Amino acid sequence: MSQLALLGGPKTRTEPYPPHPVIGAEERELVGQVLDSGLLSGFIATAGEVFLGGPMVRKLEADVCDYIGVKHCVAVNSATAGLHCACAALGLGPGDEVIVPPYTMSASATAILMTNAIPVFADIEPDMFCIDPESIRAKITERTKAIVVVHLYGMAADMDAIMAIAREHGLGVIEDCAQAPGAHYKGKRVGTIGDLGVFSFNQHKTVTTGEGGLVVTNNEDYAVTAQLVRNHGEVIVDKMGVENIVDTLGWNYRMTELEAAVGIGQWHRLDELTEHRVRLFRRLEQRLVEIGSPALKLPPVREGCDHVYFLYAMRYDAEAAGVSRATFVEAMLAEGVPMGAGYVRPIYLEPAYQRLIGYGEQGCPFKCPLYTGTVDYSKGICPTCERLYEEELVSTAICRYPLSEADVDDVADAFAKVLGALPELAAYEASKA
């Protein structure tokens, strides 16, 4: 095997990877229809059909309902907006606590703050990376009102255990499905198990509108609240005869007709795009099993679930490798293949939580007089999450359309090359010490 690129040898991969996403014929046709119509957005903050948006938005919502088997869908302009709508639908407010994992995009917790409630962080599973039900149970207080569950990297969390805890304590459940559209948990689509589900159409997601999101629910009241928050609800509640106006102050979370047109075409391709990801993953996993290095611990799939592989995350064992994770990732990147370390910093270590600064200079909602608890965002509160972030987790986003098995083989070849040269890599690392 040739010398590592990091040590002066040739790269495994020299060509750039093709971009994501790929826009298909249906998306182009539907966007053309919108442009020809001249109706770029169908929303007006007044009573009537226009309150619910234009025909493309309503078509997208109907298609999503049919696909995942849910009664209501509310299209919004981001998953962040969707999470805020979901928190509002549950009536969260000052003094409430919401349990959420720290190993996720920041919006999973920021949406809680947007209702003036307090995020409480529960630790994650060491091997499947989703929120740990036992940690949830340990974090419940008399102030706890809801749980935000994140189906991380494309696989569902342990929903049986989580829903049992939620029902035992009368808690609402929001499923953050941004990375797992189309995934199943024991025969059910993610997003349909809790009280509300939220999906993302961000640029790098499996299906995309550039920016966009969805809220799904089987509860009509929750759907109406989400619609009010989406479209300036405070000026429409009386015209709609809404009596419970808690958390209905409206924002502009409206999806445009252009975004919805792209979303319809993309959503129709979800199965195709997911099957492509799974096929590439199986190829990569087969190669990694053949390599058989003790330095890498491959991710299991939860019993009764499928995995849609938004990201392929593994645990790296630096002790078994004899090389630090940082040097291993440096070597992989030098080979010309995508590789990341740690995913995201635990949310509670970000400045807003460390300094307890949310709204204004007085520390709201963390220091709100309506909140009777004491926040703890100190380092060490979620040790499994911190260990994965600081020491173990490595990931690659190689399993995506339009990449091919040949592209995946380049990544596998880089793994084989680097893992086969760990002694040389250890010597390189020692020389830099």
Beta strand extents in 106-230 (DSSP E only): 118-121, 144-150, 172-176, 184-185, 188-189, 196-200, 213-217
Give percent above pLDDT 90 in the chain. Answer: 93
Strand 184-185 and strand 188-189: the pairing is antiparallel
The pLDDT tens digits of the residues spanning 353-375 come to: 999 999 998 899 999 999 999 99
Q: Binning pLDDT at 50, 70 and 90, where does residue 22 land?
A: confident
CA angle (106, 112, 115) in 5-degree steps: 135
Show the tokens assigned to 218.
């089987």
Neighbouring residues of 253: CB distance < 8 A, sequence distance ≥ 6: 76, 77, 78, 81, 82, 84, 85, 229, 230, 231
From CA 318, how far away is CA 311, in angstroms rounded? 21
H-run or E-run covering 297: strand 296-297
The pLDDT value given to residue 373: 96
Average pLDDT of the residues in 55-77: 99
From CA 389, how far away is CA 382, in angstroms rounded? 11
Q: Binning pLDDT at 50, 70 and 90, where does residue 433 land?
A: confident
Cα dihedral angle (39, 42, 43, 44), rounded to 10 degrees?
Answer: 70
Three-state DSSP at 120 gives: strand
The pLDDT value given to residue 381: 99
String of DSSP letters for 72-104: EEEEES-HHHHHHHHHHHTT--TT-EEEE-SSS
Per-chain mean pLDDT for the chain: 97
The pLDDT value given to residue 243: 86
- Inform me whether the pLDDT recorded for 53 exceeds 90: yes
The pLDDT value given to residue 2: 86
Q: Any idea how long the chain is?
A: 433
From CA 409, how far away is CA 280, in angstroms rounded? 9
For residue 190, how far is the Cα from the chain centroid? 12
From CA 227, how far away is CA 236, in angstroms rounded? 11
CA distances (Å), origin 148, targets 173, 185, 363: 6, 16, 23
Domain 25-269 CATH class label: alpha beta
Show the tokens assigned to 39.
């109706």
C-alpha closest to that of 274 among 308, 322, 320, 235: 308
Give percent above pLDDT 70 in the chain. Answer: 100
**Could you give phi then psi for residue 365, rounded to 5 degrees?**
-90, 0
From CA 422, how far away is CA 281, in angstroms rounded? 24
From CA 361, how far away is CA 258, in angstroms rounded? 39
For the chain, the domains span 5-22+270-343+386-432, 25-269
Three-state DSSP at 300 gives: coil
From CA 191, how far away is CA 200, in angstroms rounded? 12
- 5-22+270-343+386-432 and 25-269 share one fold: no
Which numeric CATH code is attached to 5-22+270-343+386-432? 3.90.1150.10
- Inform me whether the pLDDT recorded for 121 exceeds 80: yes
Q: Binning pLDDT at 50, 70 and 90, where does residue 1 land?
A: low
From CA 203, how far away is CA 28, in angstroms rounded? 17
The pLDDT tens digits of the residues spanning 286-317 come to: 999 999 999 999 999 999 999 999 999 999 99
DSSP-assigned beta bridge partners for residue 118: 97
Residue type at position 43: F
Average pLDDT of the residues in 70-89: 98
From CA 173, how far away is CA 169, in angstroms rounded? 11
The pLDDT tens digits of the residues spanning 216-263 come to: 999 999 999 999 999 999 998 988 888 888 888 889 999 999 999 999
The pLDDT value given to residue 21: 82
Average pLDDT of the residues in 75-88: 98
